[in-house]
């Protein structure tokens, strides 16, 4: 005859395990159905010639990946995306850092400025892109109107191969600066005020000295997060391209995610689009790993 005192712990542990599975089950199911299974499906399709609307498909091995190497559209999208990220990422990080420092320094109307600068994040970017289309219009746009007032002939910002990527970059900085500002503000509020007083006693009299000796080192983890998130957001830029330029003119604003969309849903070449997606994901993963390793070496964790 079993001892009830010995069976009680077993019942308790099995009940806790069941409760744990019931609590984590929805999250596991969502992860499998919305992330893992679609990712595996994309990897499988990358090795086929599957096209939407076709009755079947066949395995083509690495043919799709080999075709990527000679595709001029893919080459243009990779070049444009790299240039876009190189422009927008540091500019938006510096803008977010500057705005956060100004607001944290005691600027009047903190709540108002936080709301204004965070507006692009909570706004529908398609609607905001339409507003930018009007602002940058070559004839009726306010930007060129202001330039004409000082005797400068403004270019066709979104219709010129020389200016379209810079114009999209400016919109990208405007879009990301507010988001970065909020993250940096969170990091600034976590820095103890006593450290600034101690630094001033030790001789850090100027604001720059206190920033260099206290603020910047302790913002390391926050800046690592900001850099990683901003880089990912810029690499997957799609909405402004789809709304404003559709990759033109002459593929001067062609971006990787836009190319994937075109191949998959305009040309219906799902296998080729899947191969490009796999390469895109691998490149993003590699960039994130390298970036994290480099920045983390210079990061101070309190």
Q: What is the CATH number of the domain that holds 152?
A: 1.10.3720.10
- Burial 27-61, CB ≥16 within 10 A → b, else e: eeeeeeeeeeeeeeebeebbbbbbbeeeeeeeebe
- Give the pLDDT of residue 241: 94
Question: Which of 52-56, 148-152, 165-169, 192-196 bottoms out in mean pLDDT, i.e. has the lowest?
Answer: 52-56
CA distance linking residue 223 with residue 183, whole number of Å:
9
Q: What is the pTM of this model?
A: 0.87
- Residue 202's CB is within 10 A of a number of other CB atoms, namely 10
Task: State the pLDDT at residue 48.
Answer: 94
For residue 8, tell me if it sits in a domain: no
To the nearest whole number, what is the mean pLDDT of the chain?
Answer: 87
Count of residues making up the chain: 302
pLDDT of residue 217: 87
Give the number of other CB atoms < 10 A from CB of residue 185: 21
| Number of domains observed in the structure of the chain | 1
Is 27 a domain residue?
Answer: no
Question: Whose CA is closest to 302, among 180, 215, 241, 185?
Answer: 215
Please give the full DSSP string across 145-183, using - where no structure is assigned. HHHHHTT-----TTT-TTTHHHHHHHHHHHHHHHHHHHH
Rounded Cα gap, residues 187 and 210, in angstroms: 16
Q: Which domain holds residue 94?
A: 63-297
Domain assignment present for 277: yes
Contact (CB, 8 A) for 168 and 241: yes
For residue 286, is it within any domain? yes
Portion of the chain with pLDDT greater than 70, in percent:
92
**Could you tell me if residue 67 is inside a domain?**
yes
pLDDT at position 100 over 80:
yes
User: What pLDDT, in 10s, does the model give residues 113-166?
Assistant: 777 788 887 777 878 888 899 999 999 999 999 999 999 888 999 999 999 999
């Amino acid at each position: 005859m079993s001892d009830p005192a010995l069976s009680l712990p077993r019942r308790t542990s099995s009940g806790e395990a069941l409760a744990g599975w019931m609590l984590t089950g929805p999250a596991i199911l969502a992860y499998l159905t919305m992330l893992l299974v679609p990712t595996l499906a994309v990897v499988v399709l990358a090795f086929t010639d599957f096209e939407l609307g076709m009755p079947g498909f066949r395995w083509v091995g690495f043919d799709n990946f080999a075709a990527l190497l000679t595709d001029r559209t893919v080459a243009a999208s990779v070049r444009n995306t790299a240039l876009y990220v190189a422009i927008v990422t540091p500019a938006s990080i510096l803008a977010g850092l500057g705005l956060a420092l100004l607001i944290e320094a005691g600027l009047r109307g903190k709540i108002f400025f936080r709301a204004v600068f965070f507006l692009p994040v909570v706004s529908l970017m398609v609607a905001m892109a339409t507003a930018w289309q009007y602002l940058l219009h070559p004839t009726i746009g306010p930007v060129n109107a202001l330039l004409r007032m000082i005797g400068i002939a403004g270019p066709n910002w979104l219709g010129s191969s020389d200016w379209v990527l810079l114009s999209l970059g400016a919109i990208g900085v405007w879009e990301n600066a507010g988001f970065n500002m909020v993250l940096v503000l969170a990091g600034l509020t976590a820095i103890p005020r006593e450290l600034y007083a101690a630094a001033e006693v030790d001789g850090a009299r100027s604001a720059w000295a206190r920033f260099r000796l206290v603020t910047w080192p302790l913002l390391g983890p926050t800046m690592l997060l900001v850099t990683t998130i901003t880089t990912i957001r810029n690499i997957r830029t799609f909405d402004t391209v789809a709304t404003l330029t559709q990759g033109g003119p002459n593929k001067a604003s062609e971006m990787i995610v836009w190319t994937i969309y075109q191949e998959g849903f305009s040309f219906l070449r799902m296998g080729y689009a899947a191969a490009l997606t796999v390469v895109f994901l691998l490149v993003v993963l590699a960039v994130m790993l390298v970036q994290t390793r480099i920045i983390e070496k210079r990061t101070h964790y309190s």
